[in-house]
Amino acid sequence: MLIPGMVILLGTKAVASVMPIGAFTPSTLITFTGLPDGTEVNGLTVSGVLFTYSLGNGQLEISHMGPGLTNNINPPNTVTVPNQTQAGTLTILLPSPALRFEYGYAILRTVPFANATTVSVFSGATLLGSLSFDAAPDPVWSGGLARLESTSAFDRVAVTFNNSGRASDFAMDNIGFGIGNVPEPSTFALLALGLLVASALHLAASGAVRPRKL
Query: Residue 67: its pLDDT value, please?
Result: 83
Alpha helices for the chain (secondary structure H): 185-206
**Are the C-beta atoms of residues 100 and 180 closer than 8 Å to each other?**
yes
Q: List 45's β-bridge partners, or say none.
A: 50
Listed range (61-65, 81-85, 141-145, 191-195) with the worst mean pLDDT: 191-195
- CA 192, CA 149: separation in Å to the nearest integer? 26
Q: Specify the higher pLDDT residue, 164 or 177.
A: 177
Burial code (b: 16+ CB inside 10 Å, e: under 16) for 79-103 equals bbbeeeeebbebbbebeeebbbbbb
Query: Residue 11: its pLDDT value, please?
Result: 42
Query: Residue 164: its pLDDT value, please?
Result: 78
Q: pLDDT of 103-130, one tens digit each?
A: 999 998 899 999 999 999 999 999 999 9
Residue 184's pLDDT band (cuts 50, 70, 90): very low
Q: pLDDT of 54-113, one tens digit each?
A: 999 999 999 998 788 999 999 999 999 876 666 799 999 999 999 999 999 999 889 999
Task: Single out the residue of 18, 6, 20, 51 nearest to residue 127, CA to CA.
Answer: 18
From the centroid of its chain, how far is CA 182? 18
Angle value at C-alpha 48, between 174 and 45, nearest 5 degrees = 75
Q: Tell me what the pLDDT averaged over the chain comes to.
A: 84
- CA 80, CA 122: separation in Å to the nearest integer? 24
